[in-house]
Amino acid sequence: MDKDLNRKVAELAECGCAIGSDLNEGARLAVDATGCHAVSVYAINGYGQRFELRAHSGRALAEGPVTEVEFAPELEKLLDSGGVLPEGLLGRLALSAADESFSIIYPLGSKESLKGFLLLWGAAGTLKEDILKDETRVLVAVIGAAICAAMKWHDVAKQNEQLRSEVGELQGRIKSIEKFLYLGDMAAMLAHEIKNPLVSIGGFAERLKRKMDPDSPANTYVDLMISEIERIEKIADGAFRCTGGEHMEVERQDIKGILSETLSLFGDEFERLGIEVLTELENGPLTVMADREQLKIAFDNLIANAIQSMEQGGTLAISARRDPEGVEDMLIEITDSGKGIKEGDIDSIFTPFFTTKNSGTGLGLPISNSIIAHHQGVIEVVSNGETGTTFRVRLKCCES
């Protein structure tokens, strides 16, 4: 290797160290070192089925470099050693040379660990032999090594950023769980302490009503007092359920039977509001270890929430099947065609006492979420703006 080439290699190696994760800088170095018209950097995707454009430098091509190239057999042969792309191959690879007279491909990485390739575009007046000569190959090899390192740096940085995001999300969830547990303990205590005197007050109010003259104007106030006591009892019961304070009687249960029983409770309401019910339940057993009555309460609240969003009628679709993404999971979906949930409200719908309705306690969905969580399941919500909402309940299957 002559002194001039040694100097160029040393300079490129020094510049290559400064690339970092900037592939466009690597493409620019390739243009300067080879004297070609432009350079495109393609990286193999995670599945090894195609190459994706990651950088381009030099004069813009008439139609621009294509963003994806399929891993065709002809291309694989060229990537073994590098070389000139035949004109016929350009069309099959969907690479547009535009006003360029030729293009040369150089692999990035070895055949065993191929990272991608450089595509060097030669101008009409450029000598093909100059770009193919050994000296240029050496320079491109040095640049290619720097670009491969930049690709790894970019991938590691991306993975690191993703991990940081996931850690931050997990930390946020842990804080929310800790807060929820503290509030849950407090709510359970308050619910228990409030309910006992409420029962006494409600009992005395009923006795007072029985002793009063039916025509007494005070009956109105006594009736109001009784209804408000019942409302407070309902809130206390809901708060108690949100904390999982109820004892669970877990047995093997058929989820399809639970859904059918829950739906039957709303038959009159479906007819009154003009709601069409569509069910799609997978054939065969869908068995779960669960407290039957608690799961009925959970699905009751989810269905009631769907009905409240379809005051002018609509469609309620309920499906149950084994989750294709998890062998041991079952997936229950409850989809309505109602007005949907605002994007800003989605994160709050499982928060106790949060409600967008004029009436209601804001405890229905939190109770459902708590019950499903105590059954080691999760509820996911997908809202399509004003075109409906889907609640996805994932539970663990068990052998029937």
Q: Tell me, what's the pLDDT at 112?
A: 73
Q: Tell me, what's the pLDDT at 100?
A: 46
Number of domains in the chain: 3
Picking from 61, 45, 148, 52, the residue whose alpha carbon sits closest to that of residue 101 is: 61
The predicted model gives 372-388 an average pLDDT of 84
| pLDDT greater than 60 at residue 124 | no
Query: Between these two residues, 30 and 62, which has the higher pLDDT value?
Result: 30
Q: Tell me, what's the pLDDT at 117?
A: 83
Q: How many CB atoms lie within 10 A of CB 319?
A: 17
Alpha-carbon distance of 23 to 148, in angstroms, equals 9
* SS3 readout for the chain: CCHHHHHHHHHHHHHHHCCCCCHHHHHHHHHHHHCCCEEEEEEECCCCCEEEEEEEEECCCCCCCCCEEECCHHHHHHHCCCEECCHHHHHHCCCCCCCCCEEEEEEECCCCCCCEEEEEEECCCCCHHHHHCHHHHHHHHHHHHHHHHHHHHHHHHHHHHHHHHHHHHHHHHHHHHHHHHHHHHHHHHHHHHHHHHHHHHHHHHHHHHHHCCCCCCCHHHHHHHHHHHHHHHHHHHHHHHHCCCCCCCCEEEEHHHHHHHHHHCCHHHHHHHCEEEEEEECCCCCEEEECHHHHHHHHHHHHHHHHHCCCCCEEEEEEEEECCCCCCEEEEEEEECCCCCCHHHHHHCCCCCCCCCCCCCCCHHHHHHHHHHHCCCEEEEEECCCCCEEEEEEEECCCC
Per the prediction, the chain carries an average pLDDT of 76
Q: Is residue 160 part of a domain?
A: no
| pLDDT greater than 60 at residue 59 | yes
pLDDT band at 376 (very low <50, low <70, confident <90, very high): confident
* 370: its two tokens: 């708590």
pLDDT band at 318 (very low <50, low <70, confident <90, very high): very high
> Do 293 and 257 contact (CB within 8 A), yes or no?
no
Alpha-carbon distance of 55 to 70, in angstroms, equals 17
Q: Tell me, what's the pLDDT at 374?
A: 83
The predicted model gives 137-143 an average pLDDT of 74
> Do 94 and 117 contact (CB within 8 A), yes or no?
no
Q: Is residue 157 part of a domain?
A: no
Instruction: Tell me the pLDDT tens digit for each residue of 150-175.
Output: 777 777 888 888 888 888 888 877 87
Q: Tell me, what's the pLDDT at 221?
A: 86
* 357: its two tokens: 């309705």
The predicted model gives 170-184 an average pLDDT of 71
Q: Is residue 158 part of a domain?
A: no
Q: Tell me, what's the pLDDT at 334?
A: 95
**Looking at the structure, do residues 12 and 141 belong to the same domain, yes or no?**
yes
Q: Tell me, what's the pLDDT at 333?
A: 95
**Looking at the structure, do residues 67 and 109 belong to the same domain, yes or no?**
yes
| pLDDT greater than 70 at residue 97 | no
Q: Tell me, what's the pLDDT at 317?
A: 94
**Looking at the structure, do residues 279 and 232 belong to the same domain, yes or no?**
no
Q: Tell me, what's the pLDDT at 314?
A: 92
Q: Tell me, what's the pLDDT at 98?
A: 47
**Looking at the structure, do residues 290 and 320 belong to the same domain, yes or no?**
yes
**Looking at the structure, do residues 43 and 148 belong to the same domain, yes or no?**
yes
- Among 242, 260, 294, the domain boundary falls at 242
Percent of residues, the chain, with pLDDT higher than 90: 13
Alpha-carbon distance of 394 to 139, in angstroms, equals 56
**Looking at the structure, do residues 130 and 178 belong to the same domain, yes or no?**
no
| pLDDT greater than 80 at residue 313 | yes
| pLDDT greater than 80 at residue 310 | yes
**Looking at the structure, do residues 102 and 31 belong to the same domain, yes or no?**
yes
Picking from 117, 116, 89, the residue whose alpha carbon sits closest to that of residue 102 is: 89
- Among 185, 213, 242, the domain boundary falls at 242
The predicted model gives 240-257 an average pLDDT of 76
> Which residues make Cβ contacts (< 8 Å) with residue 14, sequence separation at least 6?
none
Q: Tell me, what's the pLDDT at 27?
A: 82
- Tell me the sheet residues that pair with 231: none
| pLDDT greater than 50 at residue 94 | no
Domain that holds residue 21: 3-152
Q: pTM of the prediction?
A: 0.48
- Among 218, 242, 266, the domain boundary falls at 242
pLDDT band at 243 (very low <50, low <70, confident <90, very high): low
Q: How many CB atoms lie within 10 A of CB 328?
A: 10
Picking from 317, 345, 322, 315, the residue whose alpha carbon sits closest to that of residue 397 is: 322
Q: Tell me, what's the pLDDT at 34?
A: 75
| pLDDT greater than 80 at residue 325 | no
